[in-house]
Amino acid sequence: MTVVREITRQLPNERILYFGDISRCPYGEKDLETVRAYTIQVAEYLVAKDIKMLVIACNTATAAALEILRERLEIPVIGVIGPGARSAIQHSRNGKVLVLATSGTVKSNAYPDAIMRLNQNFEVTSQACPAFVPLVEELRYKDDIVTGIVIHQALKAHMHSDADTVILGCTHYPLLKESIRRYFEGRKAVIDSGYETAREVSSMLNYQKILRPPAGEVTHTILINGDSSRFKYILRDWLPELKYDMKEIELKV
């Protein structure tokens, strides 16, 4: 939903069909083969609903299935790793980057690979932060004391590292962006992949000449695979202004 927030802010005329795989999340601690199967299934389900672009708003799913889906689908497919990697290269002054991500994304080596394809002179360090997702999902990130403890335990080894740029390599982590920035005392640029992904969506839609023209109030569609009750609470907290219709569905591999 952090990616949705940025897309709706930057592209207020676009209608979003969002799929939340609540019953099978989190993806970040699952093996990549399982995540790949889930992601392909969800993509095929959404394409059948006549979408014009697919945004994989999950770093682990992007690492697992982006290239396969680009080969299979006839519509543009955007992941969250490439935009974040390019932004980190633009922001870094010394060529040293720290990636904070789930275990699955770290194991995939997706961010180091994406950065090294563009600039082999960069040095990339990755850190799995498994405690960050439940911190956000359970809305405990609003407690500064709890958040401070969790961030310190995860990042203390990097407090004084040479990396001058940090990539938030999970779409949950932007909710912790300011806390992470403060932890590093402003010495490191913090890259929000959701923000960068929305910029890429905008550029691609414009290039393809498929931007939706202004047409009054926009209502989005949210499909939840599983129980939507907790998701509604999170939506009220994260995106209180979002106009949407929500429906629970059942999708199993």
Average pLDDT by stretches of 10, the chain with 253 residues:
91 96 87 94 97 95 96 96 95 97 92 96 96 89 94 96 96 92 96 89 95 92 91 83 93 76
The answer on whether 59 is annotated among ligand-binding residues is yes
Task: Confirm whether 170 is a catalytic residue.
Answer: yes
How is domain 81-193 classified at the architecture level of CATH? 3-Layer(aba) Sandwich (3.40)
> Would you give the DSSP letter of residue 19?
E
Determine the Cα–Cα distance for residues 55 and 248; give it in Å rounded to an integer: 20
The answer on whether 172 is annotated among ligand-binding residues is yes
What pLDDT does residue 63 have?
Answer: 92
The answer to whether residues 174 and 168 touch, using CB atoms and an 8 Å cutoff, is yes
pTM of the complete model beyond 0.85: yes
What pLDDT does residue 195 have?
Answer: 85
Q: Which amino acid is at 170?
A: C
Q: Which amino acid is at 84?
A: G
Determine the Cα–Cα distance for residues 111 and 97; give it in Å rounded to an integer: 10
Look at residues 221, 238, 212 and name the one whose alpha carbon lies nearest to residue 6. 238
Whether the domain at 2-79+196-249 and the domain at 81-193 fall into the same CATH topology: yes
The residue to which tokens 């990549």 are assigned = 32
Q: Which fold has domain 2-79+196-249?
A: Rossmann fold (3.40.50)
What pLDDT does residue 253 have?
Answer: 66
What pLDDT does residue 9 have?
Answer: 92
The answer on whether 60 is annotated among ligand-binding residues is yes
Task: Map out the domains of the chain as residue ranges.
Answer: 2-79+196-249, 81-193
The answer on whether 79 is annotated among ligand-binding residues is no
Q: Which of 57, 58, 106, 198 is catalytic?
A: 58
The answer on whether 220 is annotated among ligand-binding residues is no
Task: Confirm whether 25 is a catalytic residue.
Answer: no
Q: Which of 35, 61, 64, 170 is catalytic?
A: 170
C-alpha torsion sign, points 222, 31, 82, 189: positive
Kindly state the helix (H) or strand (E) to which residue 181 belongs, with its residue range: helix 177-183
